[in-house]
Amino acid sequence: MNRWKAPFALFFFILGMLTFGFWYSWKEKQEQAQAPVKAELVVYTDLPNALTTILADQYREEKNIKITVMPLTEEQMTTVLSRPWGEQNGDIVITSQDNLVLGTSKNQFRPIVTESADTVAERFKNTDGYWVGTWYDPVVFTQNDTFYNTLGRYITTWDTLAKPGNWRVVVTDFVASQNAANLLYNMVEAKGETSTIQFFNGLKPHVIQHAKFLSTPVRLAALGETDIGIGNYSDAAQYMSHSYPVKVIFPADGTSFYLTGAAVLDGTRNTIESTEFIKWLLAKETAQFMIRHNFHFAFTNPEMSDPKDSLGRRLVLWDVQGGYTVEGKKVLLNQWVSQVRFRKEP
């Protein structure tokens, strides 16, 4: 019996240490939760709640600063940033490039002074420092493996995509999704309105569905329901990370991208804290945190590696400025609807 005393003693010692460790960890977390926050920042954003929640929680855990998120649609954000300056409350906005350009024109922001913003490429930020891009989402061709292994790997440009052939394409309806419509606006800026309308009319025979949701084209390609889904890189990368049978092609003749960025509201009383939060958004560690949580974007931080497609190629982005007005968008959408989407063939 004595021979079991030492193993039993060791077992209970280890059990006691583990119990104490769990209790101490729990107590420490409880104390942290009860500790008063250093500051509270109010952030207006049109980002998905799933993303803003994990970012706010992570920032509080790291910095003990509470982020109160005020969720808006992109249209609501446009309205908010169009108001007179005196009506603004809060500290930060995180939104699209178009809305950031609008806010700058309405004198809504104050310059962001941080080395992190200085390292961001000029094309992804305001030249006077009123806003800075944090990440962007390029439009890509998502192909199911079967199609890629036959003809798909040779369809690598917008030009070849619209040529005669028997491949099937799904694209999001531009009227249903503002984010998807950014492809239309960018292409008009890059190639001209006439060439853009001609392209979409050439693509029309291939289109088997105009989806209502932004992620649908990528999902249908992943499930083999279409040959090519024209969609965002972030959605395609998610499916690839979960081992779906898909390939991602970056258009060799350049592509559209949806830029998300941040700005400090001019009326903030927390300039330093707001700037620090934007600096944190730009950090390499934050980008890696987002990727681990399945948010796959191309990041403006130059320390992050540039994404590559299934052919090993880097992105080529169109040289576009963005900042499209509400009126301008309506005109282009109406042109697309009348001359492409519901155009009656002779």
Burial degree of 330 (CB within 10 A; 0-12, 13-18, 19+): exposed
What pLDDT sits at residue 342? 86
pLDDT score at 25: 59
Say what the pTM is: 0.86
**The two three-digit tokens of residue 216, written as one number:** 């649908």
CA dihedral of 170, 176, 181, 183, whole degrees rounded to 10: -10
Residue with tokens 């619209």: 162
Per-residue model confidence (pLDDT) at position 14: 58
pLDDT value of residue 3:
56
Instruction: Provide the pLDDT for residue 13.
Output: 47
Q: Where are the beta strands (DSSP E) in the chain?
A: 39-45, 65-71, 92-96, 109-110, 132-144, 169-172, 207-211, 228-232, 246-249, 257-265, 298-299
β-bridge pairing 257-265 and 109-110: antiparallel
Mapping DSSP to helix (H, G, I), strand (E, B) and coil, where does residue 285 land?
Answer: helix
pLDDT tens track of the chain, all 346 residues?
455 555 555 555 455 555 645 554 555 555 455 567 788 999 999 999 999 999 999 999 999 999 999 999 988 999 989 887 656 689 999 999 999 999 999 999 999 999 999 999 999 999 999 999 999 999 999 999 999 999 999 999 999 999 999 999 999 999 999 889 999 999 999 999 999 999 999 999 999 999 999 999 999 999 999 999 999 999 999 999 999 999 999 999 999 999 999 999 999 999 999 999 999 999 999 999 999 999 999 999 999 999 999 999 999 999 998 888 889 999 999 999 999 998 776 5
For the record, the structure tokens of 53 come out as 């929640």
Coil vs helix vs strand at 38 = coil
Contact 329, 188 (CB under 8 A): no
Q: How far apart are CA 263 and CA 11, in angstroms?
A: 56
CA atoms within 13 A on the CB side of 157: 6
Residue 345 confidence (pLDDT): 65
Residue in this structure with the two tokens 């099937």, named with its chain if needed: 168
Asked if residue 217 lies in contact with residue 142, where contact means CB atoms within 8 angstroms, the answer is yes
pLDDT for the residue numbered 27: 52
